[in-house]
Amino acid sequence: MTPPILSQFLFFFKTLLWCFLLGFAPINARGGTEPIVVQWGIPEYESDTYVRVPLCVLINSEWKLTGPFLKGDTLNSPPTLKWDKSTNIADVQIFWPHGELLQQQGQTSHVYKKSFSVILHVFLKDRAASELNVEFKGLACSDLCRVIKTPLSLKLNPPTQSVGKFWQMLSFAFLGGIILNIMPCVLPVLGLKLKGLASVYPFLLRKMFLLTSIGIIAGFWFLAGLTISLKIFFQQQMRWGMQLQNVYFLLTLCIIMVISSYSLLGMFQLNTPRWAARFLPKSYRTSFGAFFSGLFAVLLATPCSAPLLGPALGYFLSGTYLEIFLSFTLVAFGFALPYILGIIFPVHKLLPKPGQWMFVMEKTIGVLFFGTAVWLVWWPLGSFLSESFQKIALSFLLVIGIVPFIHKKIREFPLWIRSILLFILPSAAGVGLCILPFFNQKVQEISMIDGQIHWLPWSAELMEKTLRAGRVVVIDITARGCLLCEVNKSVFKEPGMQELLTSSKIVCLRADYSKASDDITALLKRFSRAGIPCNIILSKDYPQGIVLSEALSSQEIEKCIKFLYTLSGKSSSDKQKPVSHNSPKPSDKS
């Protein structure tokens, strides 16, 4: 593998050489009549779906090209690049070099002379062949001025991926599905399932396990079909946990949690509707309940982020439709593994016998479901509410939540008081909770302070500017409602990290992904990730970056920064303690 510093040097050297060979001859061969020649340089693939493409602009010695508009300029005719007619291109970020200051006849502008190159960061929708079609437009001046329009087309074919990486990502998808079972949002469902299985006859257990597994697989197949449909019809990519960025989904899930909590705490019993019972024989109702419990588990699992899911889905979502389907199938089998094992082995011998514990567990799970509703309002929904509105929403939820605990204690109250306490007030609070986000104007922003670390809001321009300045960039992509993100933030508050990340050689950028953002989506796609948390460390000498584990550790951060310091030849002894680990391996993209 070529060392990163040498790779960067070769990239720019090849770009300049290519510009010279392609552009110098055509300009002079035409006797200087062509003011500008625009040609592609050699593309450099940084990952499956991220490629840097240099665009070489050769300017005749008698001409000048007006550059990007800067503060203080009186002339505003910047060059532009349009790429809207490209195929399989998700986004293009364009980085123009600085022009020379020109003051003439009382006018000030920045211009380009001779030759320069524009660097295009191109993000592909998937690993399929793509075509970059751009139109270059600029104002060239000599004795007179001319508008230059040049169409260009470039075919992009990402390098073939290794078989080993394909199987590695498949194993990540399967293991990520297994880990989903122990995430906080899924644990109440498992507890509810355990309580239900304890009351089922042993000879029916295997059937229940099978139908639950089928429900889980059907749920993930639905997600696979939705993902493929979004790519085909809407040219969008589904991201794991993207539902938390949708206020309607959050409100619906909150209502489901409250209704489930009411049922488990004894307010009412959820039974099959009479009209449906006519078409569904009694012997099949338990089976359908097992199937839909699998679907319900998938619904609760999708907002959760689990280790290994990010790199696996990030890899497969940029692949073919068959790869997308295969990845979701592997996640489904990992998620359904406890039930599949129940089909194979006599699990009924390990289940406790029915008893008082079932009543206690049912009440506990009911409280946990209501706790999930509180979590939805406190964290994810907080992205759509100001601090004062969030307190009002929690007050509404409190009014709703006390009903199961008081309904038996007020049986002796007059009917009109019971009606107000049990129906009118909770209903009004529920309506208020649902409409509150739509009356809110100012929303809360995620915290940018972790102890002594002051994070700057991430932007592509700031990131590139910081890299050009030779600083190490630490990026934290996070969001409200991401539990693993909150756990990772505790790592940044450790004394060693406080000392290390406040170094003048390091710039910390935080990207708030609580709401949908095309720029942050492109950043995740650039580093082959489909969800958060995502932490990246990169430098001028290693722009492809190192993507850290979802479960962050201070040792990993320290090791990666030491590795980047070694590449740049800088000493980190003043801000970094010595570590005994080996230098980290480059990320999968490198």
pLDDT digits (tens, 9 = 90+) for 126-152: 777 889 999 999 988 888 888 989 999
Q: In whole angstroms, what is the distance from residue 579 CA to residue 571 CA?
A: 14
The total number of structural domains that make up the chain: 3
Residues 214 and 329 in one domain: yes
Min mean pLDDT across 83-92, 162-171, 491-500 is at 162-171
Residues 343 and 195 in one domain: yes
Instruction: Please report whether residue 72 resides in a domain.
Output: yes
Mean pLDDT for the chain?
Answer: 80
Among 335, 367, 385, identify where a domain stops.
385
Work out the number of other CB atoms within 10 angstroms of the CB of residue 502.
Answer: 14
Residues 17 and 145 in one domain: yes
Residues 80 and 224 in one domain: no
Phi, psi for 346 (deg, rounded to 5): -75, 75
The pLDDT tens digits of the residues spanning 21-31 come to: 544 444 443 33
Q: Which pLDDT score, from 0 to 100, does residue 33 have?
A: 62
Work out the number of other CB atoms within 10 angstroms of the CB of residue 378.
Answer: 15
CATH number for the domain that contains residue 11: 2.60.40.1250
Q: Which pLDDT score, from 0 to 100, does residue 162 have?
A: 66
Cis peptide before 533 (omega within 30 of 0): yes
CATH number for the domain that contains residue 495: 3.40.30.10
Confidence of residue 272 (pLDDT cuts 50, 70, 90): low
Residues 114 and 259 in one domain: no
Residues 255 and 350 in one domain: yes
Closest CA to 138 of 59, 65, 73, 70: 65
Residues 16 and 104 in one domain: yes
Residues 139 and 273 in one domain: no
Residue 577 clears pLDDT 50, i.e. is over it = no
Instruction: For residue 56, give both structure tokens.
Output: 């070489």
Instruction: Please report whether residue 135 resides in a domain.
Output: yes
Residues 246 and 118 in one domain: no
Q: Which pLDDT score, from 0 to 100, does residue 586 have?
A: 39
Instruction: For residue 414, give both structure tokens.
Output: 């007059």
The pLDDT tens digits of the residues spanning 168-186 come to: 889 989 998 998 887 767 7
Q: In whole angstroms, what is the distance from residue 168 CA to residue 175 CA?
A: 11
Among 354, 385, 416, identify where a domain stops.
385
Instruction: Please report whether residue 290 resides in a domain.
Output: yes
Instruction: Please report whether residue 491 resides in a domain.
Output: yes
Residues of the chain with pLDDT > 70, as a percent, come to 81
Residues 138 and 171 in one domain: no
Give the contacts of 208 (CB within 8 A, at least 6 positions apart).
197, 200, 286, 287, 290
Instruction: For residue 84, give both structure tokens.
Output: 């809207």
Instruction: Please report whether residue 310 resides in a domain.
Output: yes
Instruction: Please report whether residue 236 resides in a domain.
Output: yes
Residues 189 and 132 in one domain: no
Verdict on whether the full-model pTM lies above 0.75: no
Among 385, 419, 441, identify where a domain stops.
385
Domain housing 19? 4-156
Residues 175 and 304 in one domain: yes
Residue range 15-20: average pLDDT? 54
194 or 396, greater pLDDT: 396
Of the ranges 131-135, 266-270, 414-418, 579-583, which is most confident? 131-135
Instruction: Please report whether residue 436 resides in a domain.
Output: no
Angle 17-564-552 from CA coordinates, rounded to 5°: 130
Residue 402 clears pLDDT 50, i.e. is over it = yes
Instruction: Please report whether residue 583 resides in a domain.
Output: no
The pLDDT tens digits of the residues spanning 290-326 come to: 888 888 888 878 777 677 787 888 788 877 888 889 9
Q: List, in sequence order, the alpha helices (H) in 234-352.
A: 247-264, 274-277, 282-301, 309-316, 321-335, 337-344
Q: In whole angstroms, what is the distance from residue 200 CA to residue 180 CA?
A: 25
